[in-house]
Amino acid sequence: MSVSARRSDSAHMTLALALLASMAAGCDESLPPRLPDPNAISVSVTLKGGTVLVSGGTALTDMETVRATVTNVYSEVLQDTVAVNIRCRISLGAVPDSTALVTLDASALATPGAVQNGVLTLLPGGDAVFQSGWNYKTSGGTPFWTLVPLKDTSDALGRFKISGPVEILMTDTARIFKPIPDYTFGPVPTIVVFEVR
């Protein structure tokens, strides 16, 4: 083999090693945030309906009373620093001035693994669920069931008061990622019946 051929082979080997090194370095670099237009996500906010049992002046509820589901409706993965701030302004349909405010943030996440190291990742078609309890009282502490008509009735457990169907409305804004503008929702109606014992 001639000297020039050996030099050519050596040059090719050097170039190949340089390319491999640059590819390996690239694998260690983090991907940039993947956030397209605001229509890439949808937000569904619900308030649990049905019978709300009130005992001793307290509504017996659970941590799924207010629930927000954020869905990636885009064809690619969405990922960025989590900036969840879902504001749910709740009011009686018949008494719109009586309002409560429930705020859901990253601490209300109910979907394991959706947030890691402060980064929210949504796969295509994937959901992240945020939920919270609520006591059916206004921000000033007035129980909603004291603002609607109640009638006396009884059953095998004794006498109690019950309302007719009560419409509760929920509206406001939701922010999921900082680069995407706030999502406005509502009014979302829910029907409940207060059973006061």
> 139-155, pLDDT tens digit by residue?
999 999 999 999 999 99
Q: Are residues 76 and 155 in the same domain?
A: yes
Q: Are residues 40 and 89 in the same domain?
A: yes
Amino acid residing at 24: A
Q: Are residues 38 and 13 in the same domain?
A: no
| Residue 126 domain boundaries | 34-196
Q: 20: helix, coil or strand?
A: helix
* Total Cβ atoms within 10 A of residue 50: 9
pLDDT tens-digit readout, 57-70? 999 988 889 999 99
Q: Are residues 95 and 180 in the same domain?
A: yes
Q: Are residues 9 and 94 in the same domain?
A: no
Alpha-carbon span 76 to 101, nearest angstrom: 33
* Model confidence band, residue 1 (pLDDT cutoffs 50, 70, 90): low
Q: Are residues 1 and 69 in the same domain?
A: no
Helices (H) and strands (E) in the chain, counts: 1, 13
Q: Are residues 22 and 113 in the same domain?
A: no
Burial class (CB in 10 A: 0-12, 13-18, 19+), 37: exposed
How many independent structural domains does the chain possess?
Answer: 2
Q: Are residues 56 and 110 in the same domain?
A: yes
132 vs 13, residue with greater confidence: 132
Alpha-carbon span 52 to 31, nearest angstrom: 47
- pTM for the complete prediction? 0.77
* Total Cβ atoms within 10 A of residue 13: 10
Least reliable range by pLDDT among 2-6, 33-37, 66-70, 182-186: 2-6
Residue 194's closest CA among 162, 167, 171, 148?
A: 162
Residues above pLDDT 90, as percent of the chain: 66
Q: Are residues 160 and 148 in the same domain?
A: yes
Q: What is the pLDDT of residue 181?
A: 84
**CA 153 centroid distance within chain:** 39
116 vs 24, residue with greater confidence: 116
Q: Are residues 23 and 104 in the same domain?
A: no
Least reliable range by pLDDT among 18-22, 48-52, 77-81: 18-22
